[in-house]
A and B are shown apart, each in its own frame.
Chain A
Amino acid sequence: MTPSQIVPLGRDILVELGQTPLFSGLSEAEIRLLLGGAWTESHPDGVMLFRQGDAADGFFVLLDGHVELFVDDGSRTVLDVAKRPAILGEAALFDDVRHPHAARVVGYAKLLAVPRGPFLDVLDQRFDLAQRLLGAMSIRLRALVGQIAELKLKSTAQRLAGFLLGLARKEEGAVTVRFPYDKRLAAEALGMTAESLSRALGRLAFLGVESRAENLVVIADAGALRLFCAEDGEE
């Protein structure tokens, strides 16, 4: 890892880094201390950041653009197309290892390049900083886990909503439907567990869907439910 041109980290970069999971818990002064040896670089399409088997002498924080990670096993197996704020080349955080995969810029990429030596030295001397990096990272990853659960729940809720609409005889307005069989069987038919069916029903509550006794479900507004079904994954 050698800089093509060393540009001292400007405030704009520090602010940007403060928004990445890794550095979100640190002050600008602390980020400067950790990144004493770091620089930013930009690359066009096709540039190899590192090759499989290269000595891992530094890691990267992807600030913009895309980088393809792949294993070169004769045929190229793509592991991931990473985007901001992914960390690449994390093998460099270990003692004396080689990159287990290769990284190639797709389209364009702006990166923060962090040589391992100075970064690891600071981590070893300042456990308080290491602990805060770990804490910030864990908490931000928890948020990603929550987002995934929400996306999964949404797609289950959409499947359930479609199922309910299929039972309804009306396109719009209020309607009451009855599960044709008990909820456990309905869950099976929809390819979900009974538990996720109840959670999905709960998720539909904000649309005015209410579960009643005797397998009845009251839909306040079939039109709204239809719109919810057609929504994309993003909210």
Chain B
Amino acid sequence: MSLLLDESERALVAATPLFSEIDADTLLWLLDGGGVTTYPDGGLLFSQGDAADRFFVVLAGRVSLFALTESGDQSIIEVVDKGASFAEGAIFANARFPLNAAVAPGTRLLDIPAASFLRRLSERQGLSAKLLASLARWQRHLMREIVNLKGRSPVQRLASYLLALSGPVADGAAEAVLPLSKTDLASLIGITPESLSRAVNRLKPIGVTSHGRSFRIADKAALRRFCGTD
């Protein structure tokens, strides 16, 4: 693998949640036997029910994991982006791939054969415990993200919506013009029209002012911090 991955790709692999607690040398040894493939045209990587004899890390591009519905349509279960691993659950379970995987054109994947990976994992004492520690940390991270997504207040949802409307400029001042009435905006963020003006007032100390459908944001970075999406 040392021949196949450049420095930035190696850093990318080391940063995947699964390997976050494994030191660089051990990781190189553990992944020895892995190969890198680029898929210029994309296509099907594996099908549901195929023997899970390898798992993958996305080095560039993206992979869709999908099930097929009865009518033959693809139902996308997960989109795996650069820097994430997939199918490791299936190899630990000595199982078959539970889903189909399709790669987008230009995707580059590191594939790690299950047999050598599991053999090496079993050979070095304490290594599986480290992988477990990586997963424990990842679990906390994911749980926190879910709480953040579920637990945001209506005022935070209003702030997120205004941020989204204000366009791609990252920081500083911005304008946002509502493409919908305030009644619809209230409905969108899940509050009554009466409490919308309260929510708008709550954003004043964070530098948001409004005239009719037009909002002015004094400092997008401050608003983003308020949303908890920073």
Contacts and interface: CB of A to CB of B under 8 A. Distances in A.
Contact of B135 (A95, A134, A188): A134
A214 to B, nearest CB: 19
A166 B133 contact: no
B21 A142 contact: no
A21 B163 CA distance: 36
B142 A144 contact: yes
Given A137-B139, A152-B149, A162-B184, A123 B128 contact: yes
Given A87-B140, A144-B139, A166-B181, A120 B126 contact: yes
B92 A132 contact: yes
A161 B184 CA distance: 10
A231 B165 contact: no
A234 B88 CA distance: 28
Interface stretch (B3-11, B30-38, B40-48, B185-193): B185-193
A146 B99 CA distance: 13
A147 interface: yes
Given A83-B143, A94-B130, A131 B118 contact: yes
Interface in B178-207: 178-181, 184-185, 187-191
B145 A87 contact: no
Classify chain A's interface size.
35 or more
A232 B21 CA distance: 35
Interface string A163-189: 101110000000000000000000011
A133 B128 CA distance: 9
Nearest to B151: A233
A98 to B, nearest CB: 14
A141 B181 CA distance: 40
Interface string B112-139: 0000001001100110111111011111
Contacts of A230: 187-188, 190-191
A142 B132 contact: no
B144 interface: yes
Contact of A22 (B79, B118, B130, B136): B136
Interface string A123-161: 110010011111101111110111111011001001101
Nearest to B95: A135
A138 B140 contact: no
B161 interface: yes
B129 A120 contact: yes
B150 A149 contact: no
Given A139-B93, A232-B150, A124 B125 contact: yes
B139 A21 contact: yes
B184 A149 contact: no
State the main secondary structure of chain B at its contact with A: helix
Contact of A165 (B132, B133, B157, B187): B187
B21 A86 contact: no
Interface in B46-83: 76-79
Interface string A193-210: 000000100000000000
A93 B89 contact: no
A148 B142 contact: yes
A82 interface: yes
Contacts of A59: 136
Contacts of A233: 149-152
Contact of B146 (A123, A139, A147, A158): A147
B187 A162 contact: yes
Contacts of A13: none
26 contacts: A59-B136, A80-B144, A82-B143, A86-B140, A86-B143, A87-B139, A95-B126, A120-B126, A120-B129, A127-B128, A132-B93, A137-B132, A137-B139, A142-B78, A144-B146, A149-B78, A152-B149, A155-B157, A162-B184, A162-B185, A162-B188, A165-B180, A165-B184, A189-B179, A191-B164, A229-B187
Interface of A: 21-22, 25, 59, 69, 80, 82-83, 86-87, 90-91, 93-95, 120, 123-124, 127, 130-135, 137-142, 144-149, 151-152, 155, 158-159, 161-163, 165-167, 188-192, 199, 226, 229-234
**Nearest 8 CB-CB pairings of A with B:** A166-B180, A191-B164, A162-B188, A135-B92, A138-B89, A130-B128, A90-B136, A87-B136
